[in-house]
Amino acid sequence: MGKQVFTVEQANRTLPLVRRIVEDVVAQYRRWQDRVREFEVVSIRSTADRQDARAQELEREVQALAVEIAGFEAELAELGVELNKQYDLGLVDFPTVIGGRRAYLCWRLGEPSVQYWRDVGADYDGRRPIPPLAVA
């Protein structure tokens, strides 16, 4: 799919599906973080010539969870939505045009609808409320 441009209405219509995918991302990312921490602790027992069995199991789990998260990110991309790399926030961007320039409509897991936007170069802290009739 090409670079889709969303209106606020279009972005909000996709939210039920986007929300489910982002919930999965956040949940799997938490599991991934837990497994990575556990792997770091357990792998201390491993040596070059003797790998700890639990460390090997955790390493496989970490890799599988990373693949799963990448799959969710690809699902969002198919919809034209970009997942913020801070997976724990559940933040996504919908490409848009505001005031004749490229921008993003922003939504974060837990918010009821798309209510914010940011410039393409701005980060999460640069989110601002969507001005009325500003999104073309």
Domain positions in the chain are: 8-129
Residue 135: per-residue pLDDT:
53
Provide, for the chain, the percentages of residues in helix, strand and coil under a 3-state DSSP scheme, each rounded to the nearest 5: 50, 20, 30
Which residues lie across from 119 on neighbouring strands?
Answer: 103
Transcribe 83-119 into DSSP letters.
E-S-TTT-EEEEEEEETTEEEEEEEETT-SS--EEEE
Tokens of 2: 């090409």
Question: Which candidate, 123, 117, 112, places its Cα nearest to that of 135?
Answer: 117
Count CA atoms closer than 13 A to 90's CA, side-chain side: 17
The dihedral of CA 78, 79, 80, 84: what is its sign?
Answer: negative
Q: For the chain (length 136 residues), average pLDDT per consecutive 10? A: 81 97 97 94 76 87 96 96 92 92 95 94 90 62
Residue 16: per-residue pLDDT:
97
Residue 76: per-residue pLDDT:
97
Residue 70: per-residue pLDDT:
96
Residue 21: per-residue pLDDT:
98
Residue 48: per-residue pLDDT:
64
